[in-house]
Amino acid sequence: MAHVHRTGAFDFVIFGATGDLTRRKLLPAFLRRFVAREFGADARIICVARTPHGNDDFRSNVQQDLREFAPDTARDEDTLHAFLGLLTYVTLDATQPDADWQAIKAALPDTERTRVFYLATGPALYASLCQALSTHGLITPLSRVVLEKPIGTSLATARAVNEGVGHFFPEEAIYRIDHYLGKEGVQNILALRFANPALEKLWSSEAIEHVQITAAETVGVGSRGPYYDEAGALRDMVQNHLLQVLCMVAMDAPASLRADDLRNEKLKVLNALRPMTADMVRQNVIRGQYTAGRLKGEDVAGYTQDLGTKHTSSTETFVAIRTKIRTARWGNTPFYLRTGKRLATKTTEIVLQFRPQAWPIFTNMPSPGRLVIRIAPQEELSFVMAVRDPGAGGLRVRNATLNMSYEHSFSIAYQDSYERLLLDAVRGDPALFIRRDEVDASWRWVEPILDTWQQGLTPLEPYPAGSWGPASARALLARDGALWHEDMLT
């Protein structure tokens, strides 16, 4: 039976309560944790948006959403209605300076309770929302604010967001969320490394030839087209998600699991990334955009068709990056980061490719072993190693794979990443959230890539939907005599 870490009473205010994030992720996550009894009927969830709704209408809409996005959890009618009773809807257009905040104040009568403000809006509203919260006396000593990504679109805009919010909340009360850090597979990296001393001794350039971090999606841009065409894959995935995963893989052991000890080690990795000059970008970064193709036996449209426009777009839907980390642990090991839409398979995984034996004594040595940490769609570990081939004469070897599925091994279904993070914000545990200096460091590394692209110094390469991206992405690894993981399997 899973351990239940129950919270005390709290108030949770969601701005942007009618948006996709709230409907698909936040409220389903709260329902699952309510069913798991991690919080009780003394909690209050205040949902704020500018769309006019009454409480009953909003709860009815949420009920339909929960049956769609959390169908197993929403089966029990009594529990579902008990959860819906925790929701209060407030109509408020926060963009208007004369907006009436009295309804929110009335929904938050108790200043002695933990109070979390979740800003599921565009980042341009973060500072003004926090100012309004302060003006109307809603920020208490027990208040925290959660900021959804993106934190800006550049180093300057990220700093402006952080400074604007920082006028009203101290740094320790600002929770910058990256849902990848809430994924069980990402958290398991810490246990895999630092609870297994023998494995940690191999975790360096002495034993590891290269590291691949891939976040591949089969979907196109869908309803996110307008946002995505402004952001692109580099801002949407690399600057936050993939760099955070890289930090978890590459960091040295923290002094403890306390938030600042963990985040100090992640910051060291970000600061040690080899800087991206224009020449480095041309040599080590591939960008692409999907065109029409076939995926899972069906014809799918290209990116500009998915946008619903006949105009061209220079937005990248694929990025592959080769970089190194300038530390004693990782100096000779390249790291490859890759993400893309409309790729052949949906997967998020980390591949640690071990170095070949210096003086092999077997005449038929297979490819060197590797450790694969799969984060999605299922959390799994695969360890490829050489063993004696039992079907061959003499002493011949072949590769075999040891597999472990977390779901099968522990007989539980893992939480959605938001389930963990929402209640960590309630509990006041910032370990899996991002500190301001991490945001700065990641933007400092990413921004030269954006600048080089803006100057037109690297091509935007087309790739057909259903492929693994532009052909040059394979060439990026071939320079080091390496293969992407899917090519190792063929």
> Annotated active-site positions, please?
241
Whole-angstrom distance, CA of residue 490 vs CA of residue 218: 20
Both tokens of 383, joined, read 């360890």
DSSP letters spanning 388-444 = E-TTSSSS-EEEEEEEEEHHHHHT-PPPPHHHHHHHHHHHT--TTSB-HHHHHHHHH
Both tokens of 57, joined, read 């209408």
Burial grade of 24 (CB within 10 A; 0-12, 13-18, 19 or more): middle
Handedness of CA 124, 141, 18, 34 (dihedral sign): positive
Both tokens of 292, joined, read 């029409």
Q: Omega of the bond prior to 368 within 30 degrees of 0, cis? A: no
DSSP letters spanning 52-120 = ---HHHHHHHHHHHHHHHSTTTT--HHHHHHHHTTEEEEE--TTSTT---HHHHHH---TTSEEEEEE-
Whole-angstrom distance, CA of residue 139 vs CA of residue 132: 10
Contact 145, 426 (CB under 8 A): no
Whole-angstrom distance, CA of residue 13 vs CA of residue 110: 13
Whole-angstrom distance, CA of residue 203 vs CA of residue 151: 32
Q: 165 to each of 126, 171, 216, 273, 371, how far by Cα in Å?
A: 7, 9, 33, 28, 41
Handedness of CA 338, 342, 343, 347 (dihedral sign): positive
Whole-angstrom distance, CA of residue 481 vs CA of residue 478: 5
Q: How many CB atoms lie within 10 A of CB 412?
A: 12
Task: Say which residues have a Cβ less than 8 Å from residue 60's Cβ, sequence separation at least 6.
Answer: none
Q: How many CB atoms lie within 10 A of CB 358?
A: 5
| 290 three-state secondary structure | strand
Q: 240 to each of 26, 69, 198, 469, how far by Cα in Å?
A: 20, 25, 30, 21
